[in-house]
Each structure stands twice: as structure tokens, then as C-alpha cells.
Amino acid sequence: MHFNQTDHHKRNILVVDDTPDNLRLLSAMLTAQGFEVRKALNGKMALTACQMVLPDLILLDINMPEMDGYQVCQQLKADTKTCEVPVIFISALDDVVDKVKAFDVGGVDYISKPFHVAEVVSRIENQINLRLLQVKLQEKNFLLQQALDNLQASQVKQIQNEKMVALGQLVAGLAHEINNPISFIYGNIQYAGQYMQDLISLIEVYQQEYPKPTPKIQQIAKDIDLNFMMTDLQNLIGAMYRGSDRIRGIVLALQHFSRHDEAEMKQVNIHEDIENTLVMLQHRLREAADRPAIVVVKDYGNLPLVTCYASELNQVFMHLLNNAIDAIEEGVKNQSPSSYPLTPLGEIPDALYQTLGVACFPEGVHELGNAALSPLTSPQLLETLEGKRPQWLLPTPQIRIHTEVTDLNMVKIAIADNGPGIEESLRSRLFDPFFTTKPVGKGSGLGLSISYQIIVQKHQGNITCTSSVNQGAEFAIEIPIEQPER
């Protein structure tokens, strides 16, 4: 919208013609009609004049030395500054081919020489009025688009607020309701274990003091397999203790994830929040019928405490990790198992191989130095590892989480997957409200839009996506360590 509106009644017309007599004639004629006229004798002068002061309309001759009118028009239309200026060709060439070419290169009208004053003025005023209407239409479209964007942003914000309140209340309520009974169990199971041990010790003393019990006692001991029961009971109590401890850990993660009573900014440990989010998603990371377990590789840097809205940042982590899992599962459906990227055993640390060969860990994530892998729980895998080292471990759908402090005093969290990737044509719209790349009924198109608002608007940070088809996708978040004063 580069229309020259400095003087509504005196429009700026640039006349380009290599014949001075024509220039003088057109200039005098248009000046008498109230137009402000500038003159150019060739194409180069015309292009320079346009850069200095943008005209409202150009009258352009075709037959000129060095650069003809067609070439001048092509250069004008190729420049973003001058591309919207209407160009009327004025020439002695009256052939249909010449007229068609004039319109092809971007001309809006064509006047044949010799011309009449009334015709020239009428055509000029007509194009200027059309241009004015176009400008007004563009302005209204811009305002409408702005209003639509604001409306969508308000809808997303309202949905986000309601979703966060509902989610926070649900998670906090569940955590509270589960916490009470599990605290009772966890607090008393140690005493129950001690009581069991005392009873087992008493039975052992009885067996020592009375090595020949009555036939009835012998029969009951045989029926219940007393020796096995005494051994297994201790294992059972240990398993119950570990299970209740695991539930307590999940409850704690739920409470940290929801942070229902923490609406204000506070300093948080980003790594703890990521871990709590992963706990919430353990059921999606485990092995499924159509894929092996998703491996989570964590490359954590040394991060300070970060000032942020903790519950909303957790929501961003949840959206990004859920999207990564969805992308991997979609990739699994669209390719045969043999086309998975495989992890050679040579790249797996011996410590991890030995750990996997000893036992199965269906819960949690196991640390190995600065990296961590989520559990691989396939019984077939363990059976294979007990035999010999195979050439390949398993197909490995994978999510990588990388954190670091940047040179700009920002914290960067990058979440990448090895799914099918995102086409370039779609990446520019990823953060638009209600836009989704997922199948109909699976995605609302709000997750990334909400994440964008939380990171960019509430935390003064930025969120970007890097992806190539069949190369996976990476979403990178950067937020200030300390939020600036507002």
C-alpha cells in the first residue's frame, strides 16, 4: 500500500518518453488538469525517479533506446516498492500483439498515439480511482484480518485458561485423593514388614525348640508350603513397599505438574518439570502392540533456576512431548518395521547393555552419565541379551531432549523426534490457532498455538521448529532466565 496520499487533489504523474515534444505536450496537458507532473527521457531515469518519489501513476512509452517500455515495466513490477504503481502504456504501436504484451508485463491500460486529451485524462483518473479503491480495500482487509487474529487469540487464551484451570483442579484433586490412602499404606507397610519379620522369627524359634511338631501341625505346614511362604513373604513386603513408593512418586509428580496454587511467577528447576511431565507420559512411552518402547535420550546442560509460570511451562512441555509421540506413532503406521532407523549395539554403552541384560525396569528412566534412556521392556530383548550380543538392538523410535544456557542469558530447551518430519509448506502455519497436521478428530490445532502464546507473550521468549521430511522435527524453546520488568 504505497499510494501517494500527500495531496488528495494533486496526484503525482510520471511521464516517460524519449521524445521531448511529447513530454512537453503531455506535461502541459496534465498540469492544466491539476496533476503534478514529472518527466523522464528514458527508462533508467524513470526507475531512478520512482525510487526518489513514488508516483501515483506512470505514463510509459514503449519504443525507447537502451531500455524499452516493456523492460521498464518488468523492473517496476519486480520491485516491492514500485510493484503496485499503475502503469499506462502510451505508444504509436497499435498492433494487438503489442497491446497483449503490455498487459502481460503488468500494464493496466494502453493508449494509442495520436491521443486525445479527454481520453488520456479519463483513463488516468479511472486508474487513480481504482487504485484508491484498492488501497481502501487492502486497509479494510488488513483491519479485518487483524480483528480475526485478535478474536482467535482471545478464543485460544480463553480455551487455554479454562483448560489450565480444569486440568489443574483435576490433577490436584486426584493427587490429593490418592495421596491420603497411599500415605497410610506407605507409612504402615514398614511396620507391617517388621511385624511379619517378628512372626517369622518366632516360627523359626518354635521350629528350633520343637523340631518334632504334631502330625496336625506338620500337615498344615505342608499344605501352605511354610518354608516358601516365609521366604516369599519378605519379597512380597519388599515389592509392596517399592510399589507404594512408586505411587508416592507419581503423586508428587502430579502435584508438581499441576502447581494448582502457584499462579504467580517463581524460580523453578526446568529439569524437574521435564521429568514430572515424562512421568505423566510414561503410559505413551512404553512398548505398544505396533512399536517398541520410545527411547527418551536426555542431554541436560547445567541450568540455573528459571523464573517462569511453572504450570503453564509444564503445559508447553506436555504439548511438545505429546506431539513428538504422535509424530513417531504416525511414522510407524506409514512405514514397514524394517524401515526404522536401527541403533547398532556398538553405539550402546556396555554399562547399559549389562543393565538391560540383568533385569527389566518397567518404570522410570535410567541415567548413564549425561545421557539417559527410557526403559526397553521387551521380554524378547532380554531373552536375546541373555544369549549373545546381536548385531542390532531393536528399532528405536526416539525423542531427544537437550537443554543449555545460551550466550544471550536464555535457557534453551529443544525437543526432537525421529518421526516423519513436517513439510516446509506447513511449518509457517504450525503456530496458527486451530491449524493441525494431525488426522481429523485427533488434533484440535490449539496445542502449538497455546504454547506460542505462553512462550512468546507470557515469557518474552521464542519457539521455533526445524524439520525436514523423513528427518524428524525439533521444537526449540528459549526463555529468559530472569523475566524482565513490565
CA distances in angstroms from 231 to 147, 228, 238, 438, listed in the order given: 73, 5, 11, 53
Helix axes 69-78, 96-104, angle to 10 degrees: 20
* Interior angle at CA 373, CA 323 and CA 378, nearest 5: 90
pLDDT for the residue numbered 462: 93
Taking phi over 0 as left and psi of -120 to 50 as alpha, with beta for the rest, 438 belongs to beta
Q: Using a CB cutoff of 8 Å and minimum separation of 24, what contacts does 82-86 make?
A: 82/2, 82/50, 82/51, 82/54, 84/1, 84/2, 84/3, 84/131, 84/134, 85/2, 85/50, 85/54, 85/55, 85/56, 85/57, 85/58, 86/57, 86/58, 86/127, 86/128, 86/130, 86/131
Provide the residue-wise pLDDT of the chain in tens; the chain has 486 residues: 444 444 445 788 999 988 888 888 888 888 888 888 998 988 889 999 998 888 989 998 888 888 888 999 999 999 888 888 999 998 887 788 888 888 999 898 888 887 778 888 888 888 888 888 888 898 999 889 888 877 877 776 666 666 656 666 666 666 667 777 877 887 888 888 888 888 888 988 888 888 888 888 888 888 888 888 888 888 888 888 888 877 777 777 666 665 544 557 788 899 988 998 888 788 888 888 878 889 999 999 999 999 988 878 888 898 899 889 988 888 877 764 444 443 444 444 444 433 333 333 333 343 433 344 433 334 444 444 444 333 333 458 899 999 999 988 899 999 999 888 888 877 777 766 655 665 555 555 566 878 888 898 888 899 998 888 888 899 999 999 988 765
In the block, cell 481520453 appears at 119
What's the confidence (pLDDT) of residue 306? Answer: 92
| Number of DSSP helices (H) and strands (E) in the chain, helices first | 14, 16
Q: Is 39 helix (H, G, I), strand (E, B) or coil?
A: strand
Q: Are 54 and 82 in contact (CB under 8 A)?
A: yes
Report in angstroms the alpha-carbon separations of 43 from 73, 124, 450. Answer: 9, 20, 52
HSE, CB side, 13 Å, CA atoms: give it for residue 98: 15
The torsion of the CA quartet 224, 229, 230, 233, rounded to 10 degrees, works out to -140
The answer to whether 437 touches 420, Cβ cutoff 8 Å, is no
Q: Cα 268 to the chain's mean position, in Å?
A: 22
